[in-house]
Amino acid sequence: MAFESIRSWTVADTLNSYPQLTKLFVEWKTDCIGCYLNRFCTLEEVAAIYSLDLDEVFVRIQSLVQIPKERIEI
C-alpha cells in the first residue's frame, strides 16, 4: 500500500497490508473487524464514528508500521 495519506486508507486495505493493526481496532472497541463495510470505511471515518482522536489514531498506526512522518499528512 502506498503511503500517500493514511486518511484515505480503508479499514480492509489497512488490515490486509498491516494485520498487526488488528489489535488497535480491538483496543479502540470498534466493530471494524469482520464488518462487511470495512472495505469502504476510511480510517478518518472510523475515528469520527467512534469518537477517536484522529491524531492519536495516526500516531498509533505510525508507531506500529513505521510510516515516515512526512507521509502522514495530518
pLDDT in tens, 4-22: 577 788 999 999 989 999 9
What residue segments make up the domains of the chain, in order of their start? 6-71
Residue 11 backbone phi and psi in degrees, to 5: -60, -45
In degrees to the nearest 10, what's the CA dihedral of 24, 48, 54, 4?
90
pLDDT in tens, 21-69: 999 999 999 999 999 999 999 999 999 999 999 889 988 988 888 755 5
Q: Measured between alpha carbons, how far is residue 46 from residues 20, 28, 43 in Å? A: 17, 10, 5
pLDDT at 59: 86
Picking from 1, 10, 21, 5, the residue whose alpha carbon sits closest to that of residue 72 is 5
Q: CATH number of the domain at 6-71, please?
A: 1.10.3910.10
For the whole model, what pTM was predicted? Answer: 0.77
Alpha helices, DSSP H, located in 28-66: 43-49, 54-65
